[in-house]
Structures are given as C-alpha cells and as structure tokens.
C-alpha cells in the first residue's frame, strides 16, 4: 500500500462545501457552537459519513462519532478528529480540515475495499473554540474525564443559554455514554496556525506536544462618577487601572521570550457612558508556555501584578482562573507513525510544538495521541483571511492515511 493516496480534489471539494455553511462576506466562516450553522455542519458531516456505511453515535455533549467497522470490531478503535465550530470571524480550515481529512481517509478505504483489523472512527468535538461557551475544548474535556458532564452541559453563553439547552434545541443532545471506553490511539490533523512550516518550506509538521494554556477572568471595580465634577486625583477609574494591567500583562510574556504568550481577548466596560468614569471593567487573559514551571511562574506574576496595580489605583480586582491545560508530550509511537507516513510519501517535515490548544491535548490523557500540521499562509488563523494550499491539505491527509493504517493493525 506504499503508493496508496487520498483523492485530494474530493477532499478540497468537501472543505469548500462545508465552508459554505456560515460563510462570511470576507471569505471566512461563522459557525458558533450549537448555532443553527453548527447544526447544519453537523447534519452534513453525518450525511456524508452515512453515505459510506458508517454508523453514527452522539454522546451527551453532542460529540459525533462516525465508525467504520474493522475485521475485529471488538478491538479499541483508531480515532481521527477535530471540530466543526468556528470563531465569530473564523477561517475555512481551522478544525474542519481535521474532521474532513478523517472522512477522506474513510472514503479512500471504502472505495478501495481496504479492510483494517481495528475499527476507525472520525469524531467532531463540541465547542473546541470556546468562542460562545467557555472554556475551549469542552466536549473533549468531558469525554476525557477532565470535566464532568454537569459542568459541560451547564456552561452558559453571554445570553445565559446553556450548552445542555442548546444541544437539546438543535437535536444533538445524544444519549450514548461513550466516555471511558478504550481507544487504540487518537490522531488530529490541523493547519499549523503559525508561520514556522511556511517560513521553512516544510510540508508536514510532526507535532510532538503542546504548550500549556491558562485562561482567566479578571474584574476590576472602582466607582462610577461624573466626568466633569470629579477631580483626577479623587477618581477610582477602573478603566485606567485595567489599562495599566494590560501593559504589565504583556511584559509577563516578554520576560519569558521566545516561548511566552499573553493575550487579552475580551474587554467590557461599565457603565459605558461617554461622560461617566468607568466603575467596572471585565477582561480575559490567556497565558501560554510549553514548560509547566514557567506557566506556573506566569500565573503567580499575573496575580501579583493585578493586585499591585489595583492598589496603586485605589480600585479592587479579582482574578479567577477558569481553565488550565498543562503542557503535554504526545505518544512517541504515534508520533513515529506520523513521521513514517511523511517519509513514505516523500514529504519534507520537521518536529514542532503546538502553540494553540487542541482537543488532542485532552485525548492525550486517556490514549496514545499525536497531531499532524500543514502550513497556513502567513501563519494566520482565527481570521477570515485564513488560507491553506490544496496540495498541503492533501499531503497532510496522505500522511494521516498511512499513520492510521499502521495503527489500525490488530
């Protein structure tokens, strides 16, 4: 089977068809978790999987598993997956590539009548992005036992709608209890979401592990006051204090260069009136580093700088860490299967650490796991301008095909 390859044109057509669901004017997609657009993408994925004889199971978090039987269907399955939800102004490739590359592997095996010893499953995880419901990677976290079902279904969006309610609304609150079953391994294909592969002219990223990620909610409370009568020296300006915090938060990452990352992605001001001093500001913080000890040091630094800055400005501040994903190392044997697939297909490759969080991080706590990266233009992701080349997504899928075949032996 050395010369076995996927149908790259079919894969590309599938990706472009999926991208029509939630398409934005600037060429991206908006498929927020459990929205009507998300439902439509789920429906299409299931339709395609059933067309090649897959059985479908949906668990209580709405995670969808499409299964192709193996010769010994009692063996733990090889699982391929990613997600179909997107950022509000997301791209065509983030997440959807991994799901549809898995589908293309199953289509290739089906049309060639190739049997595998183990069953193979393709999974689409619920709420990987975390754009509507926090935290990110929610469906896989419940599946892996990192979070419990009540927590997962109870998460709410800014309008107070819960995951459980919205799963029910779109018809994807499944009843299958799939968590805890043994898996042979998990492989997740994805665009890199960074510039390294493109800059070095490499086709495949053999992902050996991932950065740790910590998410925080910060609330800064001062006092609303009239902009005219209140002297500068007598103000408790929550916005001014928060702005000073933001500058110092950046320095947390600068101090841990080149691997440190810090981002403030959401910012809300109350009461939001032109002539009123802001009395409350809420913002989010995202900290990342591939070393556990360094991430812990950044955590301590964040808490200290917020407390110090609040004291300097005469305001109160509260910090809550709402999510922690420790740095992880992927399984050496599954990583080698990816590397061997790239070698067999003749693609240039390099080892790489994932800078973004992925469902694979949670799966690595319960089964052998690895990832495959392909380049994306200028490293742009979480953006409507996100772009990848047809040849690169085909190459990643070919590597996936051979890695899966190697791991699907009994």
Query: What is the residue extent of each domain of the chain?
Result: 8-211+327-407, 212-325
> Is 212-325 the same fold as 8-211+327-407?
no
**CA 397/CA 338 separation, integer angstroms:** 11
Dihedral Cα 86, 84, 377, 103, nearest 10 deg: 180
CATH superfamily placement of domain 8-211+327-407:
Zn peptidases (3.40.630.10)
Instruction: Report the top-level CATH class of 212-325.
Output: alpha beta
What pLDDT sits at residue 177?
Answer: 81
**CA 131/CA 215 separation, integer angstroms:** 13
Nearest Cα to Cα of residue 108 among 17, 19, 190, 1: 1
Locate 356 and state its tokens.
């973004």
Three-state secondary structure of 236-255:
CCHHHHHHHHHHHHHHHHHC
* Mean local confidence (pLDDT), 16-27: 97
Does 410 score more than 80 pLDDT?
Answer: no
Q: Could you tell me if 285 and 247 are in contact, meaning their C-beta atoms sit under 8 angstroms apart?
A: no
What pLDDT sits at residue 357?
Answer: 85
- 354, containing H or E segment: strand 349-354
Predicted confidence band of residue 2 (pLDDT cuts 50, 70, 90)? confident
Nearest Cα to Cα of residue 10 among 135, 121, 129, 101: 101
**CA 95/CA 241 separation, integer angstroms:** 37
pLDDT above 70 covers a percentage of the chain that reads 100
pLDDT tens across 30-67, in order?
Answer: 999 999 999 999 999 999 999 999 999 999 999 999 99
Strand pairing class (369-374; 120-125):
unpaired
**CA 319/CA 305 separation, integer angstroms:** 11
Nearest Cα to Cα of residue 61 among 180, 148, 131: 148
Greatest alpha-carbon span in the chain: 80
What pLDDT sits at residue 358?
Answer: 94
pTM of the model: 0.83
Task: Please give the C-alpha separations between residue 115 and each of 359, 400, 410, in angstroms, as whole numbers.
Answer: 27, 16, 11
Query: What does the DSSP 8-state code read for residue 77?
Result: P
Q: Could you tell me if 170 and 43 are in contact, meaning their C-beta atoms sit under 8 angstroms apart?
A: no
Give the number of other Cβ atoms within 10 Å of residue 181's Cβ. 11
User: Residue 128, Cα to own-chain centre: how many angstroms?
Assistant: 4
What pLDDT sits at residue 301?
Answer: 98
DSSP-based three-state secondary structure for 80: strand
What pLDDT sits at residue 308?
Answer: 98
Does 271 score more than 90 pLDDT?
Answer: yes
Q: Could you tell me if 127 and 136 are in contact, meaning their C-beta atoms sit under 8 angstroms apart?
A: yes
What pLDDT sits at residue 180?
Answer: 82
């Amino acid at each position: 089977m050395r010369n076995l390859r996927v149908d790259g044109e079919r894969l590309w057509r599938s990706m472009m068809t999926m991208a029509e669901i939630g398409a934005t004017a600037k060429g991206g997609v908006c498929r927020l978790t459990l929205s009507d657009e998300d439902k439509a993408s789920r429906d299409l994925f299931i339709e395609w999987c059933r067309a090649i004889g897959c059985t479908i199971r949906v668990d209580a978090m709405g995670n969808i598993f499409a299964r192709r039987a193996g010769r010994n269907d009692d063996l733990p399955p090889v699982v391929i997956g990613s997600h179909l939800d997107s950022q509000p102004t997301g791209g065509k490739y983030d997440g959807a590539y991994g799901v549809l590359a898995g589908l293309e592997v199953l289509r290739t095996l089906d049309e060639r009548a190739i049997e595998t010893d183990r069953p193979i499953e393709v999974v689409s995880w619920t709420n990987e992005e975390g754009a509507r419901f926090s935290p990110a990677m929610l469906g896989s976290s419940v599946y892996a036992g990192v979070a419990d079902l009540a927590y997962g279904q109870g998460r709410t969006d800014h309008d107070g709608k819960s995951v459980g309610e919205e799963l029910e609304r779109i018809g994807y609150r499944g009843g299958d209890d799939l968590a805890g079953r043994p898996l042979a391994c998990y492989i997740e294909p994805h665009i890199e979401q960074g510039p390294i592969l493109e800059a070095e002219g490499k086709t495949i990223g053999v992902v050996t592990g991932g950065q740790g990620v910590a998410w925080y909610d910060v609330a800064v409370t001062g006092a609303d006051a009239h902009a005219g009568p209140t002297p500068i020296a007598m103000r408790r300006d929550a916005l001014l204090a928060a702005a000073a915090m933001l500058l110092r938060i950046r320095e947390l990452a600068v101090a841990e260069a080149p691997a440190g990352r810090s981002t403030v992605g959401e910012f809300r001001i109350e009461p939001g009136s032109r002539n009123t001093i802001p009395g409350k500001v809420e913002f989010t913080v995202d900290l990342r580093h591939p070393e556990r000890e360094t991430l812990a040091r950044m955590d301590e630094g964040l808490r200290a700088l917020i407390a110090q800055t609040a004291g300097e400005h005469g305001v109160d501040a509260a910090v809550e860490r709402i999510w922690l994903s420790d740095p992880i190392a992927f399984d050496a044997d599954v990583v080698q299967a990816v590397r061997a697939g790239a070698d067999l297909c003749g693609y240039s490759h390099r080892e790489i650490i994932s800078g973004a969080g992925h469902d694979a991080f949670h799966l690595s706590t319960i089964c052998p796991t690895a990832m495959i990266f392909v380049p994306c233009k200028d490293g742009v992701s979480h953006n409507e301008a996100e772009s990848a080349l047809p040849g690169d997504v085909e190459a990643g899928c070919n590597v996936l095909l051979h890695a899966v075949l190697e791991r699907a032996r009994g």
